[in-house]
Structure 1
Amino acid sequence: MKKILFILFVLSFTLTVFAQKTITGLINDGDGKPLASASVTIEEPGKNAILAYGISNSKGEYRVTFTSSETNLDLKIKAFNQKPITRSITNSDQKLNFSMDSQATEIQEVRLKTKLITKKGDTISYDLKSFENKNDRTLADVLKKIPGIEVNKDGTVLYQGEAINKFYVNGKDLMEGGYGTVNNSLPKDAVSKVEVLENHQPVSILRDKVPSEQAALNIKLKKSVTMTGRGEIGAGFTPLLWNVKLTPMFFGQKNQWVVNYKANNNGESVEKEGNLLSFGSRWEGRRSQAGQKSWTNIETAGTPDVPEKRYLLNNVHFFSANLLTSPFKNKEWELKANASYTNNSIKREDLQTKVYEAGSPTIGTGGTFISSTNNRFFDNAAKGELIFTKNAKKGFFKNTTTWNSFWNTDRANVDNNLPPLANDPTATPIHKFADESLDSPTGTFQNSLSTIIPWNDKLVNFMSYVKYQKDKQTLTVSPGNYMENFGFSDFDKIRQYAISKTLEVNHSASVGFSYRKWTFTPEFGLNMNFNNLKSAITGEVSNNNYFLGTDRQNDMDWNEVMPYTQVGVNFKSQNFNLNLTLPMNFYGITYKDNIRQNYLDKSKTVFEPNLFANLDFASFFKIWAFANQSYDFGNFGFLYGGNMLTSPTNLQKRFSDNIEMPEYLSRMIGSRLEYRNPLNNLFFNVRYNYSTNKRNLIESYKTNGFISELELQSKENSIRTQTEGAEIGKYFPKFKTNLSISGTNTDSNSFSYFNSDLRESANSRQTLGIKFNNTYFSWFSLDYNINLNWSKNTNKNDNTVFKSSGWNHNLAAYIYPSDNHTFGFNWDDLSTKASGQSFRNSFFDLSYQYTWVKRKIDFEFKWLNIANRKVYETVNVDVLQQLVTTNQMYIRPSQFMFTVKFNFK
């Protein structure tokens, strides 16, 4: 049925595209001179609806593309101080020229009415005032209500379902992708409008030559020089609570800066504001979110799918500073300096019950396994970055130098009660307890350089990237008999040591030249990656350490040398963009086990093309097409021959006899249809993606109770994923209502070995989301979001079927009896259902806010989790292990907060 619907959709869309017509021509005034900025609209007779529109350029030329089933249509032309023209035309491609007569108009009264949404070229502008309600204070509060724009939980801004590539303030990119701080702390009163720059190419010299598939946001402030910012100071109890937020900002024509200090213990992870949320264009060089290489971990309690303020037991201090300045008289050069520091401690606790059905590959007789986990995480992170940029129409230069350091210490107390194991059904239940700790310092250095130099009519690009990272990790588990199935029962403590070093070096050069609307960019490059891992497991008895043998030790090298050549082909016209990359990559990868003298290599030349294209038609429609093919030959850590404790319950050896190097082939095709009509505030998009991943290796698990071992086996297998999605949003100005509906369907499969038994599962998941906000009444506003999901997992070996479902919604209602007073009510409700079990979790909050209007200061009182719910309960299934898991996660109790909120100016 799904395939039939998809075929019908493709056919109907094809008919629509081929039915479109285009009208072109010239518009002159009465003296025969070209008339610019004349509006041309196409309408169906008798209907007050615009099918398509166009604007004449400086030469008087216009072009309008439309789709209609009517035989005849009305063409209307309007221009200032010209007599309007209305003409009946046939529904066909044609060229029509017009001469307009002058008609002076005496203006007796002028009333200015701000348009909610306007479009000019590839720029869509939103009047922020039209979408806010009285309780909104920051840009992020309003941004979520704008049609076509979404904000993810991590702060990433999406336009038409895709992440933006830049976040500008007055045309400048101060935050370089880490825009969460500005989005959350920029007062909405300082903003005049939000601009969406569609198909935005951040590199000026490449505009009109190399198209982009992503959009950018530009935040236009009311003043060209703005000193602003946001602050909060709060305190509360149950337990003793505190919250401090101080974020002054300055946005000038030459300099911009943001200083940010945020600290709290009330459940807000402010440190995530430092994360990179967008990465710009590949021509700007390479930037990535720094992270630690994870070789081993303690056992961790689960986190509920609710807003973090409900469960996060934290104590965080986060400081960051961002500076942008133009150090030379030539304003094309910019220097940016960023720094941040995080100190954070987190508590987490859960109680998990796993029920294995009879015939489970883990516990054949079936049984129940109960586990409780109590965690403490202590995180410290520091970052420094210098960026030197010239982004001009006659040249581009960007050098980014970044330092990152992490000092993390994690702790866990785990208590397990196991059923009789599969190989001994007569045995009594087993009780095991463990103290676990993990120390993991990391240091990284990155430098990225990219420059584009004009050479006659060509563009020469040089890029260089260097990264060095060192990770050191020590896992300690006590007592050792917690892992007696691994042979560690004779020790008081078990320690897993791991230290890794990585050096990555990438260099490339390319030349771009144009011919009419085509741009060709041949490129040559060399990518190198050198890695080493050393690890060992030791046991401790009476403070004496013992080495546990070479089978629990690693000294492994993984090196990659990949020269490549590619040609980029770009075509850009008024309505059509094409980007095609044709790379030929030469992979040379070696794996060497210095202890066991195992050696593997892979040398292969592969073709990895990438395509995206978009077509504008009928004024408001745009269709995208995507396709790519890529190979994956593994990475550092994919193979190692000695056993390693990746967690206290998981012993891995990613190697086996007769194993070969990994070779995964991925292919993806996709399409997206968009409609963006600012005339009637309507936006929608329809998406389809299909991908395959053909693999030559498969993971093989040996399980026994809560202990598992992993190896790799050589076996061909293919994973397929198909996703369909749609979203529609409309703003109703008359009712001051924004409504959007979105839905997705995903079908996929997966393979795994459990105790030498190959199992395949088929997975299907559907989601439906509705967002609604209304500010029709001056004394009342309402925001409502609901998300529903359904899953079906089938074990294809025995046709066992597990179904699960869930939903969650959030309602936020505010009453404004006067300008000074605001009463708020918030309701989060979440539910999960699987295998006959159902859990519902409801949370209620009340708030009161008094506003000192003259000073723009808010005094807020909040009562969170009124019902004093202390646990969050969920249920989920694992069809391959025939396992149903229920989880009780401990959350924040009822609490009270008093907060003073203010703008800096």
Structure 2
Amino acid sequence: MKHRLLPLLAALMAIISVARAQQRDNRITGVLTDRVNREPLPNAAVALLAAKDSALVTSVVADAKGAFTIKGMQPGKYVLMVTYMGYNPLARNVQIHDTTGLVSLGTLALLRKGLNLQEVEVVEQKPPITIKEDTVEFNAGSFKVRENAVVEDLLKKLPGIQVEKDGTIKANGETVKRVLVDGKPFFGDDPKMSTRNLPADVIDKIQLIDRKSDQAQFTGIADGETEKALNLTIKPDRKKGMFGRATAGYGSDQRFSANANLNRFRNTQQLAVVGMGNNVNNTAMGGGGGGRGMMMNSAGAEGVARNWMGGINYSDNLAKGLRLSSSYFMNDTRRENEKRVEGETRLTPDSSRFNNNLNGSLNNSANHRVNARIEYEIDSFHSLIVTPNLTWTTGNTYSENQTTTLLNSDTLNTGRSLTRSTMQTPNLNGSALFRKKFRKKGRTFSTNLTFGAGSTESESLNQSRTAYYEQNATRKIDTIDQKVMQRNASNNIGVRMSYTEPIFTDRFLELNYGYAYNFNSSNRRTYNRSKPGEGYDVLDDSLSNSFDNMYSNHQAGLSVMTQKLRYNYTLGMNVQFNNLNSENLSKHTEIRQSTVNVSPLAHFNYNFSSKKRLRASYRGQTKQPTLEQLQPVPDNSNPLFVKEGNPDLKPSFSNNLNISYNAYNQEQLRSFFAALNGLYVLNQIVNSNTLTADGRQVTKPLNVNGNYNLSAFMVNGFFFNKKQRTSVNSNTMVSYNRDISFLNSRENFTNTLNITQGATFNYMHEELFDVAAGGSVNYNRARFSVDKRNNTDYFNFGLNLDFNVNLPLGFMIGGDVDYIANTGRSAGYNQQYTMVNGFVSKTLFAKKQGQLRFQVYDLLKQNVSVNRTVSGNYIEDSQSQVLRQYFMLSFTWFINSFGGKASGMRMGMPPPPPAM
């Protein structure tokens, strides 16, 4: 792998060195003053734009005397833009003739606003990054991307933003859970639907928001419910037109892939239609037209999948104060997989139990979901937000499993099992939030009603044959041939009311009360055959059960928020009364539990400046056990791994502490983020494992105290020479976990340390080529209290390279290379592999509306999927079936029509101003 990468990296460095040498000595100087009194203008913003497309080249800030110097640009034509608060912008054309060009502009005088300015046409200059209270705003035109790129490609250029291979977006280490388009939901809460379907060309701004809950946004008092969100704003001239793309491809081994999306924007109206079908493991809609395209999301995925997906999204302002956002989406997936698992459980310092498992499965699932959000501004004092959601899931599974269990070198059992199952799960949930403002500023009242109803009906056939051995001789053979029918139902309703009152000019009081009620029922029926080959007609009482579970809580809280110029904080206290009532209808028994949780509430924000912020928060939260954890009958679908429920489980209560600091330098385009997180859980639900003499494992959940997690995260992002063409993002993560587990009633403490260091590098050279490279090192250490011989250390290494080169006549070549190495694992799992994907494409037609592409996936035939799991005193290594090499030829048609006219896709800013 090193021999393959070194020549390529050397060539790239040579190109970069030549480019940097050509721009080393060029500079532009000047002094900024007031036109009337000739006083200097300190800290004025100076931007240099490319004359041909007004793309931002670099920006600087004048010193205390108004002087500025711009260095390192290539020979060419530019436009110098100067902006200063209270003054009209100034534009000046500049040309650099050679590699040692020096342009002295002398004194540039700016005119105060309100005075006549005849000789300059004012053009709005948007800074690359703008900092607001809870928002970091990126000007999309300042970050160059390849032609026909999608939003996901643009996000990879932004400092502090990381995009995983599966499309997951992380901002400063935190997963982005919601992407909005012009403030409206786009296909519900799936971020990939917008980032992989909207072209980067139509985006005006990308806003990274620390989004509060709807209720907290209304009251202005933090309730601890925040999430990272992105809002994509569409360019004004793109809000009246239609755009999209359609791709179809066919390849070797009968591989196929097709996807299409069509978007129509008309002022406040948004209409989007998407569709996709493939058998190349692409489970997310969309794909970059300029890069990996239909090869996205395949590497490392378990199994081989066939997917059909489609949906429609509609948003509009239906009437004055009434806005609707809605979507429907469906997907149908068929996945085949073969998986080999080897696990080791340490029993004593001299004894281990080994599990070898080979599993083959075929899963079919279909899902339909409908989402809506209705916002009604009744008047300036009253509003209503209603969000209903409906999902319907059906599926069937076939699984065949072969197992061998050994105690040291002696065989305990061997077995084979077959499982066939079907299920369907309809679910309806939603909320209705009513908000009222009073005439007195800061006095508000709001009430939020939540509701939900759902059920799961399943039917499965379990067949198995297990041989148990004693001194390597067969002792007995167990067979199972059963039919299991189960129905789970759940209903919940809740209400939360909040009242705020200003008590001083900078302090607000919030009183809140909430009530929640949950009802869950489970009915499990297991049948055996009375005679071989006949129907399942004998009820097995020991494996059947019916029970009802009712949970309710009352929560009351008081909070005081103080708002100062540079900081604000919220202090409060919540008290929660929990009641649990489980009734076993089969055994005529009942369990009642009552608990009280008291938790303080604290949030603190300090703004050192508009670019530097410190935040700290504490939050307590209750979590209920699931139906499967409460069901007091064994699940023996795998006879060697039997799961039992525990109706005596108590709700767990988590204590979360978070401290974070972030800073952005708008002039140098640098970002920095650091965070510390702590989690301690009371009554955490863990599994207690019991190993029988014949090699079976019985698992039962129980409550424990003492588990905790500590983590630290740091992200650094910056651009070289302020060019927005060469950027580096680095991230460091350290976590320490303490977990409690039980084996044969013996308590074990597992202390796990994880350290990850990663970095990515992006470079774009004019319109010729762009390259992205990255690497990561992950270290894992596990220490066990029961048996230190279980202690383990292992590493994961990764390198990646993604490049595109534009050639004459509309040709483009590109590809991506991923190198993965695993060490410190079991024999056969210390694998290293290199994934190489590549393509060559050709644009067609005068307006570049067509593209023909030939691509190869897994050129070296090395794709694998290897994973390690460490839990308690158990270590497991697994390897799964993966998609192998294929070739594909595809055609893409780009749709881009605005104002009734088709237009090409071009990134950049508004046209440059005329000569002065």
Q: 1:348 and 1:82 mapped to 2: Cα distance?
A: 62
The equivalences for 1:288-307 within 5 A come to 307=298
The equivalences for 1:335-346 within 5 A come to 335-346=324-335
Paired residue for 1:613? 604
Structure 1 residues 137 and 30, CA gap change in structure 2 (3 angstroms):
closer
Q: Partner of 1:186: helix, strand, or coil?
A: coil
Q: Partner of 2:597: helix, strand, or coil?
A: strand
Aligned-residue offset at 1:251? 1.8
Could you tell me which amino acid in structure 1 is paired with residue 249 of structure 2? A
Aligned-residue offset at 1:648? 5.0
Paired residue for 2:235? 221
Select which of 394, 399, 402 maps to 1:407: 394
Select which of 439, 446, 449 maps to 1:461: 446
Structure 1 residues 393 and 648, CA gap change in structure 2 (3 angstroms):
farther
Aligned alpha-carbon RMSD (Å): 3.8
CA contact (8 A) 1:416 1:433 kept: yes
CA contact (8 A) 2:186 2:193 kept: no
CA contact (8 A) 1:731 1:737 kept: yes
Determine if the alignment matches structure 1 residue 639 to structure 2 residue 630. yes
Paired residue for 1:494? 482
Q: Partner of 1:893: helix, strand, or coil?
A: coil
Structure 1 residues 415 and 865, CA gap change in structure 2 (3 angstroms):
same
Determine if the alignment matches structure 1 residue 244 to structure 2 residue 233. no
Select which of 873, 878, 892 maps to 1:901: 892
Paired residue for 1:283? none
Q: 2:489 and 2:272 mapped to 1: Cα distance?
A: 35
> How far does the alpha carbon of each residue in 1:108-132 deviate from its partner, in whole angstroms, 9 at most, with x for none?
6779695551426445442324323
Aligned-residue offset at 1:642? 1.9
Structure 1 residues 697 and 206, CA gap change in structure 2 (3 angstroms):
closer
Q: Partner of 2:767: helix, strand, or coil?
A: coil
Deviates more, 1:100-109 or 1:784-793: 100-109
Q: Partner of 2:707: helix, strand, or coil?
A: strand
Paired residue for 1:170? 182
Structure 1 residues 455 and 346, CA gap change in structure 2 (3 angstroms):
same
Select which of 454, 457, 461 maps to 1:472: 457
Select which of 685, 696, 716 maps to 1:707: 696
Paired residue for 1:719? 707
Q: 1:82 and 1:553 mapped to 2: Cα distance?
A: 78
Could you tell me which amino acid in structure 1 is paired with residue 283 of structure 2? S
Determine if the alignment matches structure 1 residue 793 to structure 2 residue 758. no
Paired residue for 2:667? 679
CA contact (8 A) 2:150 2:197 kept: yes
CA contact (8 A) 2:184 2:325 kept: no
Q: 1:547 and 1:488 mapped to 2: Cα distance?
A: 24
CA contact (8 A) 2:825 2:877 kept: no
Paired residue for 2:100? none
TM-score by length of 2: 0.77
Residue correspondences, number? 783
Aligned-residue offset at 1:389? 1.2
Could you tell me which amino acid in structure 1 is paired with residue 387 of structure 2? T
Could you tell me which amino acid in structure 1 is paired with residue 391 of structure 2? N
Q: 1:591 and 1:441 mapped to 2: Cα distance?
A: 25
Which protein has greater RCO, CA pairs closer than 8 Å, 6+ apart?
2
Q: 1:344 and 1:353 mapped to 2: Cα distance?
A: 28
Identity %, equivalent residues: 12
Q: 1:581 and 1:600 mapped to 2: Cα distance?
A: 33
Aligned-residue offset at 1:429? 6.8
Structure 1 residues 534 and 200, CA gap change in structure 2 (3 angstroms):
closer
Aligned-residue offset at 1:232? 3.2
Paired residue for 1:868? 861
Q: 1:81 and 1:153 mapped to 2: Cα distance?
A: 45
Structure 1 residues 215 and 698, CA gap change in structure 2 (3 angstroms):
closer
Paired residue for 1:130? 142
Q: Partner of 1:270: helix, strand, or coil?
A: coil
Aligned-residue offset at 1:886? 3.9
Could you tell me which amino acid in structure 2 is paired with residue 399 of structure 1? V
Could you tell me which amino acid in structure 2 is paired with residue 597 of structure 1? H
Q: 2:679 and 2:210 mapped to 1: Cα distance?
A: 26
Determine if the alignment matches structure 1 residue 809 to structure 2 residue 792. no
Paired residue for 1:588? 579
Q: 1:610 and 1:592 mapped to 2: Cα distance?
A: 34
In structure 1, the gaps of 5 or more residues are 1-28, 33-37, 43-47, 54-75, 84-99, 274-304
Paired residue for 2:99? none
CA contact (8 A) 1:840 1:873 kept: no
Structure 1 residues 236 and 440, CA gap change in structure 2 (3 angstroms):
same
Paired residue for 1:94? none
Structure 1 residues 856 and 190, CA gap change in structure 2 (3 angstroms):
farther
Could you tell me which amino acid in structure 2 is paired with residue 449 of structure 1? A
Q: 1:325 and 1:488 mapped to 2: Cα distance?
A: 69
Structure 1 residues 875 and 183, CA gap change in structure 2 (3 angstroms):
closer
The equivalences for 1:706-855 within 5 A come to 707-712=696-701, 716-732=704-720, 733-734=722-723, 736-800=725-789, 801-818=791-808, 820-835=810-825, 837=827, 838-852=830-844, 854-855=847-848
Structure 1 residues 828 and 152, CA gap change in structure 2 (3 angstroms):
closer
CA contact (8 A) 1:701 1:710 kept: yes
Paired residue for 1:445? 428
CA contact (8 A) 2:312 2:329 kept: yes
Paired residue for 2:199? 187
Structure 1 residues 377 and 635, CA gap change in structure 2 (3 angstroms):
closer
The equivalences for 1:239-278 within 5 A come to 239-270=253-284
CA contact (8 A) 1:802 1:879 kept: no
CA contact (8 A) 2:255 2:279 kept: yes
Aligned-residue offset at 1:502? 0.5
Select which of 877, 889, 905 maps to 2:880: 889
Q: Partner of 2:629: helix, strand, or coil?
A: coil
Deviates more, 1:174-183 or 1:333-342: 174-183
Aligned-residue offset at 1:553? 1.9
Could you tell me which amino acid in structure 1 is paired with residue 848 of structure 2? R
Aligned-residue offset at 1:610? 3.0
Q: Partner of 2:883: helix, strand, or coil?
A: coil
Paired residue for 1:15? none
Aligned-residue offset at 1:358? 7.7
Paired residue for 1:693? 681
Q: 1:436 and 1:638 mapped to 2: Cα distance?
A: 21
Aligned-residue offset at 1:792? 0.5
Q: 2:771 and 2:613 mapped to 1: Cα distance?
A: 32
Aligned-residue offset at 1:806? 0.3
Select which of 135, 154, 169 maps to 1:142: 154
CA contact (8 A) 1:520 1:568 kept: yes
Q: 2:167 and 2:632 mapped to 1: Cα distance?
A: 40
Could you tell me which amino acid in structure 2 is paired with residue 826 of structure 1? D
CA contact (8 A) 2:185 2:325 kept: no
> How far does the alpha carbon of each residue in 1:294-349 deviate from its partner, in whole angstroms, 9 at most, with x for none?
xxxxxxxxxxx984576552221111111112222x1x211233212222111111
Runs of 4+ in 1 over 6 A off after TM superposition: 29-32, 38-42, 48-53, 100-107, 109-113, 482-485
Q: 2:462 and 2:611 mapped to 1: Cα distance?
A: 61
Structure 1 residues 317 and 534, CA gap change in structure 2 (3 angstroms):
same
In structure 2, the gaps of 5 or more residues are 1-33, 46-58, 65-82, 91-109, 288-295, 897-916
CA contact (8 A) 1:195 1:220 kept: no
Aligned-residue offset at 1:671? 0.7
Q: 2:180 and 2:622 mapped to 1: Cα distance?
A: 35
Structure 1 residues 796 and 670, CA gap change in structure 2 (3 angstroms):
same
Structure 1 residues 150 and 315, CA gap change in structure 2 (3 angstroms):
same
Q: 2:890 and 2:454 mapped to 1: Cα distance?
A: 42
Could you tell me which amino acid in structure 2 is paired with residue 248 of structure 1? L
